[in-house]
Amino acid sequence: MIRRAMTLLELMLVVAVLAVVAALVMPMAVHGDSVTVDATARLLSSDLEHAQMLALSRPDRRIALAVDEDGRGWRIVDADAPTIALVDTIDASHQGRTLSVRCGEGRAALALDASVGPTGAMIIFDPLGGLETLGGPAKKLRVEIRDSSRFVSVDPDTGFINLD
């Protein structure tokens, strides 16, 4: 017997698979900027936490996260030499990686149109993981793409990092 058409069950399975794929893809297509902003803010938050851990492990240095002047990236620096990104090395036999991020490149390739502000801002951590300047309002950095934005804030006393 030669079959020339699909059964109703096969047709229903194909439609169900297409519906599941559409349900997964549509939110990313419709809210692409907000997804990218969220991913970039999480990357920024992760680098703030990395800077905080470096400050804890290197109490003799003033470790900071500095936003680039053009707002298109950031770097982890020694606050006394803020133009030069630190290099993270595992041991003497490995070449380290520069602790800097540019939107649209490397780890932030997804964030092609993202900007971070305020430009030129520097968040300096003390040897206990809090901010160097205690008290006052939380330090906030804004990540935005067109109409979508997200804030990353650092509590000045505890150093706790939040995505707002």
Q: Which residues contact 59 (CB under 8 A, 6 or more apart)?
A: 127
Q: Which residue has the tokens 């990357």?
A: 43
Q: Tens digit of pLDDT for each residue in 1-19?
A: 676 777 888 888 888 998 9
Q: Which residue has the tokens 């620096």?
A: 77
Closest CA to 106 of 83, 82, 72: 72
**How would you classify the pairing of strands 148-154 and 87-88?**
unpaired
Whole-model pTM over 0.85: no
Q: Tens digit of pLDDT for each residue in 93-139?
A: 667 778 889 988 888 888 888 999 999 999 999 898 888 887 778 89
pLDDT at residue 85, rounded to an integer: 84
**How would you classify the pairing of strands 139-145 and 148-154?**
antiparallel
* Domains of the chain (ranges, CATH numbers): 31-163 (3.55.40.10)
CA distance 52 to 155: 12
Instruction: Specify the length of the chain in residues.
Output: 164
